Structure 1
Amino acid sequence: MLTRIAFRINSALERYFPEQRLFLKSDHGTHFIRLRPLTQTFVVTVGALGLAWTIVATALIMMQTIGAGSAREQSQRQSQMFEQRLALLSSDRDLRAQEAVQAQERFNFALDQVSAMQEMLLASEDRRRELETGIDVVQNTLRSVIRERDEARAEIERLGLVMSEQGSGGATEMGRIRDTELTLGYLTSALGRTAEERDAKEAIAEATRAELIAAEQDRRTEKLRNDAIFAKLEEAVEVSIGPLDKMFRDAGLNPSDLIATVRRGYSGSGGPLSPISASTMGGALTPEEARANAILKAMEEMDLYRIAAFMAPFDSPIKAGGIRMTSGFGTRNDPFGAGRRRHEGQDYAGPYGTPILSTADGVVTFAGWQSGYGRLVKIQHAFGIETRYAHMSQIRVQVGQKVSRGDRIGDMGNSGRSTGTHLHYEVRIGGTAVNPMNFIRAARNVF
């Protein structure tokens, strides 16, 4: 049975693999080996399988080698990207630190000026009080001299009466004359001394009055100079706060609510902007001290405005050249022919791979593919504001990552529902889309 089956198989395969004989010649004779079609088929099949296995194994080894090389290159690129990002973060940190130091120096300089003005005002007040005290002493002395003069005149009159009475009692005319001369000499010398003392007191009073007038003039001059300094400080604060306040209002935000939110987040006390307290004598604040406190409060508010400005998206997502704005916020014709549709962002057209930047400090809440948007990044900012960056060619951030204004978060592309390379940029407040150009236009004259 097996012989017949083998014969049929050999007959069927003989047309492809004819029977072969392998002759072996030796000293004892010539021998041959018969290679039947089935045997040849088996050898060929085994050889083909071996060759196929060798090709597959070689391909796998080559693919692993190429894959390992690509992984190394990708790891090196990521390492270089991380190093560049660390360098950028380091430079940004140094810049922020330098800005903080400069702001601290400006605040310290303003405080030094306010303290110097306060010391000069206190010294002027002390001099004025001393002069008033000196004038009171001089006036009291003058009153005492006048009183003594009046008493001397009364005494002269009394002595004159006594002498008259004594003369009527029988004194000689020569004795009365001599007594009168002695009395007049005594009175004359006493009146001369009194007049000299009076003149000296009047000279002292006149000098004191001149000093008081000069001190009062100095005080008025000092007050005018302090008013000028205060006016310049108030004008500088107003010039700094005014554009920021207008920027928030033009963007549709309430500055009071933003400042209150920032103050709750930065509610620490102390530091260089502590208000000027009342004097140690328990008196109320002087007008100058109250004015200085108002300036310090305005400077603190200006710092809060600056912090709030960095926490809101008052910037453009693209800073590279060769960019043009295409479709704006509002209703438009759908580019795919779906009729009139609402467009909830601003489109920027430019070269493929153009860097896309974060418009404010925030945290990445989404980084991936979303239907319609393509490659999309969402960043959550303060005050309930969210920004979206769509149709990217590459995403360079991860969910949960903190970003600062100006950080590169991706590259411009054409992914998702898009007709060409561009960036679709959205700003949402409380989940509702608003016109991003309100923020960008509002910040053009500030940053």
Structure 2
Amino acid sequence: MPRRFLDRINTSLERWLPEQRLFIKSETATRFVRLRPLTQLGALAMGGALFAWAVGASSILFINHISSGSARDQAALAQAAFEQRLVALAQERDARASDAAAAQKRFQVALGQVSQMQSQLLASEERRREVETGLDVVQATLKRTMGERDTARKALAETTGEDRAGSLAARADDMSSTVDMLTAALGATAAERDTAVRDAQDARVEADRIAQDKRLMEERNARIFTTLEGAVNISLKPLDRMFRNAGMNPESILSQIRKGYSGTGGPLMPISMSSKNMDEFAGDTARAQGILNTLDEMNMYRIAVDRLPFAVPLEGGYRFTSPMGYRWGRLHAGIDLAGPVGMKVKVPADGTVVEAGWENGYGLMVKVQHEFGVSTVYGHLSKIRVKVGQKVSRGELIADSGNTGRSTGPHLHYEIRVGGAPINPMTFIKAAQNVF
């Protein structure tokens, strides 16, 4: 039955795939091989499948090459934008600090002027009270003098003697001169009182204006501080999360960075600061100090990033071919990045070369010791470009990829070790991809 079914299929296919014969001739005989339609169809199907597989594999390699290049470009652009944002924030912080210092200076000058005006106002009030007291005395004296004048006039009218009349007239003239003098003094005192009252009113208006300016300045400073606090907090959280995702303790790393970057010095001159109204600026000073502390922490994070392997060490088109894990019962302690021989291997963080040479299984290899107990290993190299003890900086060329040692094809074997124990390098690489 199967034979009859195959013959039927061959008969149906002969229209498009006629039977072919392959003759093989020797010295003694001639033989041939029959290629029936079904056999030809199988061969064509296998050839088509092989061609489709080749096209698909080439497309995947091409797409991976383009994707890896665009990802690196995007990472570089994102990092450059992040650094520009930090520089802009630092410049804005300096400008706001200068504005705050100038505003504080103007406010101190205004407070001095208000204090001086208040002193003048108190002196004017005191003079006004003195003037009012003097007016009361002058009015009492004037009433008494006018009474004496009226009495003298009556006496003059009753007296018929010429000498006595002359004496009383002279006395009345003296009293009239005294009254005129007191009246002039009273007018001058009243004018001085009116001037003092106007000065006091002007001082109150100026004090109100200065208080309003102070409130506006405080509101503007509050808005500036709020904007700066939001910006630095948004920029800091991804960095903190990146270190935690990589399995590193941010507090411990920052503490070590702080110890290495804490030098101070220089001659110090004594300064004198007035404590007057300092309580009013205590809140702004604390917020400004908090922003400066956060920016300092971001700067230390940037220093730590240069000292930890968050970047991919291979430059050029590569393909991720093998993850970290157990293979045939043995631990594969890193990842494999496949590509042609001679791809540039660049160190992803600052460090010191501690090994460079041949090692069984790894072939030509380089080991770099970084800070915080982290080291990186690069295996199956074709060429080593560094020496043991050499200091290397992030992005510096250290080797070329190859196919030495226990390797089935050209690729880079990449390991990250913390405290001597291997960890998955993708932990660091993916943590950085979420930030840069």
Q: TM-score, normalised by structure 2?
A: 0.66
1:307 matches 2:303: yes
In the alignment, what sits opposite 1:388? Answer: 377
Unaligned runs of 5+ in 1: 1-99
In the alignment, what sits opposite 1:237? Answer: 232
Measured against aligned partners, the alpha-carbon deviations of 1:46-90 in whole angstroms (never above 9, x if no partner) come to xxxxxxxxxxxxxxxxxxxxxxxxxxxxxxxxxxxxxxxxxxxxx
- Secondary structure at the counterpart of residue 315 of structure 2: coil
In the alignment, what sits opposite 2:314? Answer: 318
- Secondary structure at the counterpart of residue 349 of structure 2: coil
Q: TM-score, normalised by structure 1?
A: 0.65
- Secondary structure at the counterpart of residue 433 of structure 2: coil
In the alignment, what sits opposite 1:215? Answer: 210
Which letter maps to 1:281? Answer: M
Once the two structures are TM-superposed, the CA of residue 241 in structure 1 deviates from its matched residue by 2.8
In the alignment, what sits opposite 2:20? Answer: none
Alpha-carbon separation, structure 2, partners of 1:279 and 1:236? 33
RMSD: 3.8
In the alignment, what sits opposite 1:26? Answer: none
Measured against aligned partners, the alpha-carbon deviations of 1:99-144 in whole angstroms (never above 9, x if no partner) come to x9x9999868854652453243123212212222212222321232
Alpha-carbon separation, structure 1, partners of 2:367 and 2:309? 13
In the alignment, what sits opposite 2:432? Answer: 443
Alpha-carbon separation, structure 1, partners of 2:149 and 2:260? 101
Check the 8 A contact 2:243/2:431 in 1, yes or no: yes
Check the 8 A contact 1:121/1:219 in 2, yes or no: no
In the alignment, what sits opposite 2:292? Answer: 296
Check the 8 A contact 2:313/2:345 in 1, yes or no: yes
In the alignment, what sits opposite 1:259? Answer: 254
Alpha-carbon separation, structure 2, partners of 1:304 and 1:348? 31
1:351 matches 2:340: yes
Check the 8 A contact 1:360/1:405 in 2, yes or no: yes
Written as runs of structure 1 = structure 2, the 5 A alignment for 1:18-417 is 110-111=93-94, 113-157=96-140, 159-160=142-143, 164=147, 171-172=154-155, 189-270=184-265, 280-281=272-273, 283=275, 286-287=281-282, 288-321=284-317, 323-331=318-326, 334=327, 338=328, 340-417=329-406
Q: Relative contact order, CA 8 A, sep 6+: which one is greater?
A: 2
Query: Compared with structure 1, are the counterparts of its residues 393 and 430 closer, same or farther at alpha carbon in structure 2 (3 Å cutoff)?
Result: same
- Secondary structure at the counterpart of residue 337 of structure 2: strand
- Secondary structure at the counterpart of residue 314 of structure 2: coil
Measured against aligned partners, the alpha-carbon deviations of 1:275-315 in whole angstroms (never above 9, x if no partner) come to x9995136479424444444433333332221111001010
Unaligned runs of 5+ in 2: 1-82, 158-167
Once the two structures are TM-superposed, the CA of residue 325 in structure 1 deviates from its matched residue by 1.4
Once the two structures are TM-superposed, the CA of residue 383 in structure 1 deviates from its matched residue by 0.5
Once the two structures are TM-superposed, the CA of residue 267 in structure 1 deviates from its matched residue by 2.9
- Secondary structure at the counterpart of residue 428 of structure 2: helix
Check the 8 A contact 2:131/2:190 in 1, yes or no: no
Which letter maps to 2:97? Answer: V
Written as runs of structure 1 = structure 2, the 5 A alignment for 1:412-431 is 412-431=401-420
Once the two structures are TM-superposed, the CA of residue 190 in structure 1 deviates from its matched residue by 4.1
In the alignment, what sits opposite 1:73? Answer: none
In the alignment, what sits opposite 1:25? Answer: none
Alpha-carbon separation, structure 2, partners of 1:433 and 1:417? 19
- Count of residues paired in the alignment: 338
Once the two structures are TM-superposed, the CA of residue 262 in structure 1 deviates from its matched residue by 1.7
Query: Compared with structure 1, are the counterparts of its residues 256 and 278 closer, same or farther at alpha carbon in structure 2 (3 Å cutoff)?
Result: farther
Which letter maps to 2:215? Answer: R
Alpha-carbon separation, structure 1, partners of 2:295 and 2:270? 20
- Secondary structure at the counterpart of residue 398 of structure 2: strand
Identity %: 40
Alpha-carbon separation, structure 1, partners of 2:264 and 2:435? 29
Which letter maps to 1:408? Answer: L
Once the two structures are TM-superposed, the CA of residue 390 in structure 1 deviates from its matched residue by 1.4
Alpha-carbon separation, structure 2, partners of 1:396 and 1:445? 31
Which letter maps to 2:242? Answer: M
Check the 8 A contact 2:315/2:343 in 1, yes or no: no
Instruction: Flag the structure with larger Rg.
Output: 1
